Amino acid sequence: MRFPPPPPPQPLNANVYLFIFESHPIYDQTQGSTAAAERTSLVAEAAATAVAAAMSTFIRSATTKTKYISTVCAAATEPPPPPPLDSASSTPSSYSAAAQAMPILCRLQQKKHMITPAAYHATGVDMHKQPGGHLLTWLDAMKAQSPPHFHSTAATAAYTAWKKQCPSAVRMFKKLMVEAKAKQVVVFLDYDGTLSPIVDDPDQAHMSDDMRAIVKEVATYFPTAIISGRARPKVYEFVQLAELYYAGSHGMDIMGPANATNGFKAKGTRVKDKMGNDVVLFQPASEYLPLMDEVCKILSESSKGVRGARVEHNRFCVTIHFRRVKEESWGALAEKVENVLKDYPTLNLTHGRKVLEIRPAIAWDKGKAVDFLLSSLGLADSSEVFPVYIGDDRTDEDAFKVLKDLKHGCGILVTSVPKETKASFSLRDPHEVMEFLLYLVRWKKQELDGVKNGSKTSPCI
């Protein structure tokens, strides 16, 4: 079983957390004895880094959170150790704030406080070598991926600061469309958390009729695909729009209309669907299907003893849902997953929002699915194309990276909390996604009306 590296740190505004650190009573209480205020600005920044990383999950309970900040601040005021001597680059001038934050986080870990992978990653610590190893990595990463129910003033301030780096795609719509003018827009959408809200029961993640109607309109004007971790047939069951391309299992199961209503003809292996329609099919991991069936069956049986556990077979990946499992039982469930996977070295373990996922260990992800779909539509390697990808999960980062590397198009992250991302813009929730898609349709209609009427002015929203 192969474990990819921990997720990168979240881009939280250090000034916000430095303010929390300096405003906390413990700072004043210890200032005289430890001379915290007189230490170098690098150490103060290290404290802020530790606070930012430690709070990246935004603990739901206000009381717990206050106590947690106290612990972080107390650890931060302890004198840092000297820089390591076994590294040529570890001179006092190059000893970064992140490096100085490491002992703070280690002290917190010793006190058995939960530290996110983002916190460890910010210090350069290899979490896989820490006590608790893989399970600590995956469980804490999973918690960090899930938006909190509790939003404090600090959380709101952090989100506002973060949006300066990743502004609202709705507010920046006109700027985006200036870049998209005279180009072929292609729309890629995640499903859960993007077109539908995140719910406790994955079988109840229905999209609204209004969302379905606007997605249908989007597909009328632009090649449109839904790329999800779900099984492709399940996504289609939710969306029920034949004019879309569907990429299930994180892009390992792709199917779409051979002749779309928007005039595009996709290239690829053509087959007939259950209704007898011509479709394009691509399944790069088809030989793994028997293995995925086997693993799903074993995990379904072994997880029965964990109340609330749910194992979902998504054809080319198996998803283990933790959303209905009490957090004190997460370790036991994760251990069962790890024990099963020890016998399957050709499978990878990844994480998402309160899920662990098992996938074939092949070089394929949502980014590769975007590349394939652009190529099959004859739109690859062209500066005249403007791909738009909207998603909310860590797995969407592969697609955001593809668009960033293309240097045209845009990635849009759906989130209500700050996150490290390769996306250029953000939307808060599915409601804002629908608003953005509505703007996109109106923009295209106005553009077409302008062409029809001979207008050379740019369409406005």
Residue 457 lies in a domain: no
Same domain? 250 vs 190: yes
Handedness of CA 325, 326, 329, 330 (dihedral sign): positive
Same domain? 200 vs 268: yes
Please list, in sequence order, all residues whose beta carbon lies within 8 angstroms of the beta carbon of residue 366, skipping any fewer than 6 positions away: 227, 247, 250, 251, 391, 395, 396, 398, 399
Tokens at 83, concatenated: 């820089």
Where do we find the tokens 């709101």? 156
Maximum Cα–Cα distance across the chain: 79
Residue 1 lies in a domain: no
Residue 287 CA neighbour count, 13 Å, CB half: 4
Same domain? 35 vs 134: yes
Among 398, 399, 421, 389, residue whose Cα is nearest residue 165: 421
**Amino acid identity of 142?**
M
Which of 118, 139, 162 delimits the end of a domain? 162
Q: Are 348 and 4 in contact (CB under 8 A)?
A: yes
CATH number at residue 292: 3.30.70.1020
> Cα separation of 137 and 27, whole Å?
30
**Could you tell me the strand order of the sheet in which 347-352 lies?**
310-313, 318-321, 355-360, 347-352
Where do we find the tokens 């391309």? 245
How far from each other are the two terminal CA atoms of the chain, in whole angstroms? Answer: 50
Residue 4 lies in a domain: no
Find the domain containing 317 and state its range.
287-360
Indicate the number of domains in the chain: 3
> Cα separation of 19 and 158, whole Å?
11
Same domain? 137 vs 215: no
Same domain? 296 vs 255: no
> Cα separation of 149 and 322, whole Å?
16
Same domain? 56 vs 88: yes
Residue 149: per-residue pLDDT: 53
Same domain? 425 vs 373: yes
Same domain? 269 vs 388: yes
Residue 6 lies in a domain: no
Which of 311, 345, 360 delimits the end of a domain? 360
User: Which residue numbers are catalytic?
Assistant: 190
Same domain? 276 vs 319: no
> Cα separation of 241 and 214, whole Å?
11
Residue 69 lies in a domain: yes
Among 102, 73, 126, 142, residue whose Cα is nearest residue 337: 142
Residue 172: per-residue pLDDT: 96
Residue 8 lies in a domain: no
pLDDT tens for the chain, 461 residues: list them.
444 454 444 333 333 333 334 444 433 443 333 333 333 344 444 455 444 544 443 333 444 444 544 554 554 444 444 444 333 333 333 334 444 444 444 444 444 333 343 443 444 433 333 334 455 555 666 665 565 555 557 677 888 889 999 999 999 999 999 999 889 999 999 999 999 998 888 889 999 999 999 999 999 999 999 999 999 999 999 999 989 999 999 999 999 887 655 556 666 677 777 667 777 788 888 899 999 999 999 999 999 989 999 999 999 999 999 989 988 888 889 889 988 988 998 998 888 778 888 999 888 899 999 999 998 888 887 789 999 999 998 899 999 999 999 888 999 999 998 888 999 999 999 999 999 999 999 999 998 887 666 654 444 45
Same domain? 120 vs 30: yes
Same domain? 109 vs 72: yes
Tokens at 194, concatenated: 């993007």
Residue 351 lies in a domain: yes
Q: What is the pTM of this model?
A: 0.67
Number of Cβ within a 10 Å radius of residue 85: 7
Which of 125, 141, 162 delimits the end of a domain? 162
Q: Are 42 and 388 in contact (CB under 8 A)?
A: no
Same domain? 306 vs 221: no
Tokens at 177, concatenated: 């469309």
Strand partners, 358: 318, 349
CATH number at residue 194: 3.40.50.1000
Residue 216 lies in a domain: yes
Q: Are 303 and 339 in contact (CB under 8 A)?
A: no
